[in-house]
Amino acid sequence: VRTDPTDTTIEGEAVVLSMSAANAARALAGATESDSDDTEADVVDSILIAGLPERTVVVKPGSASQLVVSLLNNGSQPATFDVHVEGWVRDGWLPEGMHHVPMQPGERNALGITFAPPHDASALAGDFPFVIVVRATQHLRRVTRLHAKLVIRPFTDFALGKLEDRQLRRSS
């Protein structure tokens, strides 16, 4: 018995046909409810959908680590997703620079962004927040911004001066 004409009851199984762009990005990235963190809020567009399965990239200077960005063209036309990093990450630590990913409507893709700080004093140890930004020239007013952080592990290094052979003589 229905008392309110706007009340809809579904018996049996149901499939969710639509969801918010933020929830779609979380689902695309394989995130669960327990994956929430204390970073700033993401901005996820309903056409340029992107998600991050992991929010933290850990790297030791002199080596490289990748962050995977899940992409979905939720629009009705082909688009080239332009993906780049903004924030406290030096350009030289991103060997590939900006990524351009052509995508058909409904197409999903996984993009790896490489972080490679050098093994020198410019790569200070610590946590560095950054944002993954996704745009497309086919959708000029649309943008997706995903917050994450780069953790640079500390390292120690030392160098010895020139080694010299010296013979010691015993004096009597």
| Tokens 């086919």 belong to residue | 138
Q: In which band, very low, low, confident or very high, does the pLDDT at 136 lie, cut at 50, 70 and 90?
A: very high
Q: How far apart are CA 71 and CA 101, in angstroms?
A: 9
Provide the CB-side half-sphere exposure for 122 (13 A, CA). 11
- The average confidence (pLDDT) of the chain is 82
- Confidence (pLDDT) at 122: 87
Confidence (pLDDT) at 30: 54
Cβ atoms of residues 118 and 63 within 8 Å? no
How far apart are the C-alpha atoms of 63 and 84, rounded to whole Å?
20
pLDDT at 156: 81
Q: What is the pLDDT of residues 28-44, one digit of tens each?
A: 555 544 444 444 799 99
Query: For the chain, first and last CA: distance in Å?
Result: 115
